Amino acid sequence: MILVTGGVGYIGAHICVELLSDGNDVLILDNLCNSSRITVERITVLAGARPSFIEGDVRNRPLLERIFTDYPIDAVVHCAGLKAVGESVREPLRYFETNVSGSVNLCQAMADAGVHTLLFSSSATVYGECVQMPIDESCVLGQPTNPYGHSKLMAENVMGSIARSDPRWSVGLLRYFNPIGAHPSGLLGEAPTTAPNNLLPYLLQVATGQQKELSIFGDDYPTPDGTGVRDYIHVMDLAGGHLKALDYLQRNSGVHTWNLGTGRGYSVLEMVNAFERVSGMNIPLKTTPRRNGDIAQCWADPGKAARELSWCATRNLDEMLRDAWRWQCQNPHGYEVDNLYPNTSEPEDVTMIRLVRSADALFRPNTTRDANKTIT
């Protein structure tokens, strides 16, 4: 059984679907501080298998001890964490407590239980402002520009140290570049609970009229069109990388670091143009000064993951944007209003049949909407 912390969050939910679909038993631990219990039902529909779910906190040591006693856990995928850069500047202690202390707590509970296989959701933010492009795993780690970035680097250092101290550990540090997109069913996606900070969720809300216009944070970077360049990766490709990495960790001990990116960068303007083409929507824009702490460009050399894990991203930018737009159209308020799971008093088997039918319906092209304004 695989424990996925943060397993009902944006990335964790996609990982759970892939793990369950691959025949693994999955236990999710999530305190729901940035997610919804409804996601468990949607994971179940998509995977055709139900994960076990515990609402709880990775900082709760007695709870973790009980979990490792009660469930036959072989490996842990640690996605639980706080991720809003701006919030981390305002509330650094909360970020260090969750992302660093929470990770230490988890590692201690794992060590006590004799579970030594750990995959960690890290971030390209640990590279800071890297001069070399593309970025490979041997790049000197930079100075993260905010407490969130520091907390990820600190957690990486903790996990690297324990793996080096005891040969029983197999630790994978996955440095995500910029995950976007959604499950192609439109049932899982990113559901920000406050005004989004990241480019794509904000752009989606402009497209649906929830935000007035998209600010382009600087058009004077030393990039081809002056706007920031990032390596956007489909969340389904990212999830697939976790299965490959877990497989590798079963056979190799020590600490291993892999970039999960596509190896291709797109500028903000390229993203907007591609989204307009894919969705048929018009995105009002305004240019503002650079955002504090932003770097000009960042894209991965994903060669190490290709060589060691036989993994590479296969979905292109159009697919990322199309899937993200489908998710946004079908869930304009995220998981808040659940049109799939409104009646919690009905028997579970009735709910499951209805959920499967709803999911089937969602897979069918929607012919009633303006074809120019929505994708099918």
Give the residue numbers annotated as catalytic, written as ranges: 148
C-alpha to C-alpha distance for 218 and 221, rounded to whole angstroms: 7
C-alpha to C-alpha distance for 340 and 180, rounded to whole angstroms: 23
Q: Which of 18, 27, 44, 57 binds ligand NAD (CB under 6 A)?
A: 57
β-strand partners of 179: 233
Does 217 bind ligand UFG (CB under 6 A)? Our answer is yes
Q: Which of residues 7-26 bind ligand NAD (CB under 6 A)?
A: 8-12
Beta strands in 190-336 (DSSP E): 214-217, 229-230, 232-234, 254-260, 266-267, 285-288, 297-298
Q: Show the site string, 282-321: x = touches ligand UFG by CB under 6 A, - = not.
A: ---------x--x---------------------------
C-alpha to C-alpha distance for 127 and 258, rounded to whole angstroms: 13
Does 261 bind ligand NAD (CB under 6 A)? Our answer is no
Does 185 bind ligand UFG (CB under 6 A)? Our answer is no
Does 234 bind ligand UFG (CB under 6 A)? Our answer is no
Partner in contact with 121, chosen from ligand NAD, ligand UFG, none, beta carbon below 5 to 8 Å by kind: ligand NAD
Which stretches of 79-196 are DSSP H helices? Answer: 85-90, 92-95, 102-113, 147-165
Does 35 bind ligand UFG (CB under 6 A)? Our answer is no
Q: Which stretch binds ligand UFG (CB under 6 A): 72-80, 209-217, 252-260, 301-309?
A: 209-217
Q: How many CA atoms lie within 13 A of 196 on its CB side?
A: 20
Tell me how far the alpha carbon of residue 193 is from its chain's centroid.
15
Q: How far is the CB of 361 from ligand NAD (least distance, A)?
A: 26
Does 216 bind ligand NAD (CB under 6 A)? Our answer is no
Contact criterion met (CB below 8 Å) for 63 and 56: yes
Instruction: Output the residue with the shortest Cβ distance to ligand NAD.
Output: 9
Contact criterion met (CB below 8 Å) for 203 and 272: yes
Does 202 bind ligand UFG (CB under 6 A)? Our answer is yes
Cβ-based nearer residue to ligand NAD, 180 or 329: 180
Other Cβ atoms within 10 Å of 33 Cβ, number: 12
Angle at the Cα of 110 from the Cα atoms of 108 and 112, rounded to 5 degrees = 70
Helix axes 317-330 and 268-279, enclosed angle (nearest 10):
60
Size of the residue set binding ligand NAD (CB under 6 A)? 28
Cβ-based nearer residue to ligand NAD, 169 or 232: 232
Partner in contact with 10, chosen from ligand NAD, ligand UFG, none, beta carbon below 5 to 8 Å by kind: ligand NAD
Which residues form the interface with ligand NAD (CB under 6 A)? 5-6, 8-12, 29-35, 57-59, 79-83, 98, 102, 121, 123, 176, 179
Which residues form the interface with ligand UFG (CB under 6 A)? 83, 85, 123-125, 176-178, 197-199, 202, 214-217, 228, 230, 268, 291, 294
